[in-house]
């Protein structure tokens, strides 16, 4: 089954449940955000704009977002059709978080399996992604649509750097389906994808022809805002449910970090207690630093004891 946030709040689903679900739900608009539920034998999608779903089925409905354990064929096809993708990475310590745009996915990015992908990393003036992956392996890939149908998709990954002079570089390149050597390539970033997220993409502008200085006869290629995100938000505000949505989806991060304080208060959290717990989790998560501190303290204690014994003898 598809992984979802707070799985303990979601009832088990089976095909009979989906069949009853499908008979009673109708999509209100073809352009509405979609939520996908998958099982080994059945895939079902519906418009998330149907407000009476929760009343008819005791299922926690995630509006505009879905999570998957792997990359299926539909997600793969959509990703490779996009005109650009982005990589994001960060060091464990330091001030710089890197975000890089990359070229056409169909020419430089390959999805090798349900949980594995790779892209060719060209030589450039920066080296942030390679350095970050070497240090901690964390990397996120994002695709977004600038076409009529909006969508954002992220691959959360653990990466591996394969440099141009390593023996496995050529075999990986061929496995990616890239027949000829890529000029200027310095590495291939191999990606082990542990989670896939899709969301609405309403805030991403779309390709459009725009007027030049308001001239009706002069048009150039450009971008324009979508009306969907404003329409969705205005409907929430009108129904007085926007804060309820924030309470449900904005109170924490995917890693359990504390989120929007207003949402946390609405959920009944005692903020200072939750912040203290978050600080404790952050400290204990630094296992290497804790281990180093313990070893260093032990060594210093032994040295201090030896010095003390030496002074007592004299």
The whole-number pLDDT of residue 285 equals: 79
- Answer yes or no: is pLDDT of 56 > 50: no
- Span 90-99, average pLDDT: 93
Residue 180 pLDDT class (50, 70, 90 cuts): confident
- Span 213-231, average pLDDT: 75
Q: Using CA of residue 164, residue 166, residue 169, residue 171, what is the dihedral sign?
A: positive
Q: In the structure encoding, which two tokens stand for residue 231, read together?
A: 């329409």
Residue 286 pLDDT class (50, 70, 90 cuts): confident
Residue 183 pLDDT class (50, 70, 90 cuts): confident
- Answer yes or no: is pLDDT of 182 > 50: yes
The whole-number pLDDT of residue 256 equals: 87
Residue 215 pLDDT class (50, 70, 90 cuts): low
Whether this model's pTM surpasses 0.75: no
Per the prediction, the chain carries an average pLDDT of 79
Q: In the structure encoding, which two tokens stand for residue 41, read together?
A: 């034998």
The whole-number pLDDT of residue 206 equals: 84
């Amino acid at each position: 089954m598809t992984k979802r946030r707070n799985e303990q709040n979601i009832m088990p689903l089976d095909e009979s449940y989906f069949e009853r679900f499908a008979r009673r739900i109708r999509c209100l608009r073809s352009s509405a955000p979609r939520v996908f539920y998958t099982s080994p034998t059945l895939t079902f999608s519906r418009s998330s704009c149907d407000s009476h779903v929760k009343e008819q089925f005791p299922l926690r409905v995630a509006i505009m977002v879905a999570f998957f354990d792997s990359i299926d064929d539909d997600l793969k096809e959509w990703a490779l059709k996009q005109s650009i993708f982005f990589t994001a990475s960060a060091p464990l310590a330091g001030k710089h978080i890197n975000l890089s745009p990359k070229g056409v996915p169909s020419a430089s990015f390959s999805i090798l399996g349900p949980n594995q992908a790779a892209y060719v990393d060209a030589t450039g003036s920066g080296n942030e992604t390679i350095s970050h992956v070497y240090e901690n392996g964390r990397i996120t890939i994002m695709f977004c649509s600038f076409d009529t149908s909006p969508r954002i998709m992220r691959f959360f990954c653990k990466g591996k750097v394969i440099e141009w002079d390593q023996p496995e570089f050529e075999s990986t390149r061929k496995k990616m389906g890239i027949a000829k050597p890529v000029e200027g390539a310095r590495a291939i970033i191999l990606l082990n994808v542990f989670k896939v997220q899709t969301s609405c993409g309403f805030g991403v502008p779309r390709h459009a022809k725009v007027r030049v200085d308001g001239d009706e006869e002069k048009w150039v290629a450009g971008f324009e805002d979508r009306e969907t995100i404003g329409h969705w938000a205005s409907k929430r505000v009108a129904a007085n449910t926007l804060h309820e949505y924030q309470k449900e989806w904005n109170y924490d991060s995917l890693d359990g970090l504390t989120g929007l304080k207003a949402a946390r208060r609405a959920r009944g959290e005692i903020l200072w207690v939750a912040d203290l717990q978050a600080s404790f989790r952050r400290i204990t998560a630094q296992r290497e630093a804790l281990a180093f501190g313990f070893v260093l303290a032990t060594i210093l204690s032994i040295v201090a004891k030896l010095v003390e014994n030496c002074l007592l003898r004299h």
